Amino acid sequence: METILSVSHLTKKFGHLTAVNDLSFTIEKGNVYGILGPNGSGKSTTLGIVLNVVNKTSGTFDWFNGSVSTHEALKKVGAIIERPNFYPYMTAVQNLKLVCKIKNVSTDKIEEKLDMVGLLDRKNSKFQTYSLGMKQRLAIASALLNDPEILILDEPTNGLDPQGIHQIRQIIKEIASQGTTILLASHLLDEVEKVCSHVVILRKGEKLYSGPVDGMLGSHGFFELKTSDLKAL
Ligand code: ADP
Ligand code: MG
């Protein structure tokens, strides 16, 4: 097994509030991981820390077994942690060309990635004409331009209609089937069950369970948690 990310005793405090509390988990290459928990359980904070946009209070995280600096490691990571933000009057291709320039990667793969997210036939449409689902799919294409080892998504289907949700989930599965490791945060049990092979369940910043999704509902997982824990999900 090849370790992509290991998080050890990570804690984040915002003043008196402990958003992430002594959290440890490991991401192995080739799996699809979910971080599952209700709103405010520390999912986005955890992603922010490992992506170096939120400062941790204590604990450690290591990308690729610590073989490279975090700065270098993050060049091999694709992430969407905010609402997709592109230039409204520019086409999908124009927007992605700009992303390539900023990321200093080749523009050769733009069409391949647009095809992967089902947007090739709309590649010359302006971003402002896209539906929310299409905008999210363009964001995924954009995050894949550097052929990342791992794709990180924060609540990837939030705000989408059922068809949009289905499309995004299918695309995530397709990307995973091609060997890209996935880490997604979601407050939806059904999303994690449908898309992920492994899960870290959080409540109030604390880990309730980590392991295979299959085991989450089995005798050693979820159902052994206290009723009060289950209510929160
Ligand atoms: P989730 O993504 O699971 O909804 P978050 O990681 O966004 O949870 O938030 C965890 C907790 O930390 C919440 O109580 C939230 O209000 C708090 N929090 C997040 N970011 C900040 C911040 N920048 N300043 C203060 N509190 C924050
Ligand atoms: Mg969040």
Mean of pLDDT values over 86-93? 98
Token pair of 56 as six digits: 């941790």
Q: What is the pLDDT of residue 219?
A: 47
Is the confidence at residue 220, as pLDDT, over 80? no
Tell me how crowded residue 37 is: count the other CB atoms within 10 A of its CB: 25
Is the confidence at residue 147, as pLDDT, over 70? yes
Which stretch of 80-89, 119-128, 178-187 has the lowest confidence by average pLDDT? Answer: 80-89
Res. 231 pLDDT band, cuts 50 70 90: low
- State the pTM of this model: 0.93
Mutate to test the pocket of ligand 1, among 7, 10, 17, 53 (most ligand atoms within 8 A of CB): 17
Q: Which residue minimizes the CA distance to atom 23 of ligand 1? A: 14
Q: Which residue minimizes the CA distance to atom 17 of ligand 1? A: 19
For residues 11 and 60, the answer to whether their CB atoms sit within 8 Å is: no
Mean of pLDDT values over 184-209? 95
What DSSP state is assigned to residue 84?
-
Q: What percent of the chain has pLDDT over 90?
A: 88
Nearest ligand, CA 43: 1
Residues 62-72: b if buried by 16+ CB within 10 A, e if exposed: bbbeeeeeeee
C-alpha of residue 131 to centroid of ligand 2, in Å: 22
CA distances from 172 to 86, 92, 134, 175 (A): 21, 20, 14, 5
Which protein residues touch ligand 1 with a CB less than 6 Å away?
Answer: 14, 17, 19, 37, 39-45
To the nearest whole number, what is the mean pLDDT of the chain?
Answer: 93
| Ligand 1: nearest atom to the Cα of 12 | 12
Q: Which residue minimizes the CA distance to atom 27 of ligand 1? A: 14
Res. 202 pLDDT band, cuts 50 70 90: very high
Mutate to test the pocket of ligand 1, among 10, 14, 46 (most ligand atoms within 8 A of CB): 14
Token pair of 25 as six digits: 């988990």
Q: Which residue minimizes the CA distance to atom 21 of ligand 1? A: 14
Separation between Cα atoms, residue 55 and residue 189, nearest integer Å: 28
Mean of pLDDT values over 111-119? 98
Q: What is the pLDDT of residue 215?
A: 80
Model pLDDT for residues 7-22, shown as the tens digit of each residue: 999 999 999 999 999 9
Token pair of 185 as six digits: 């945060």
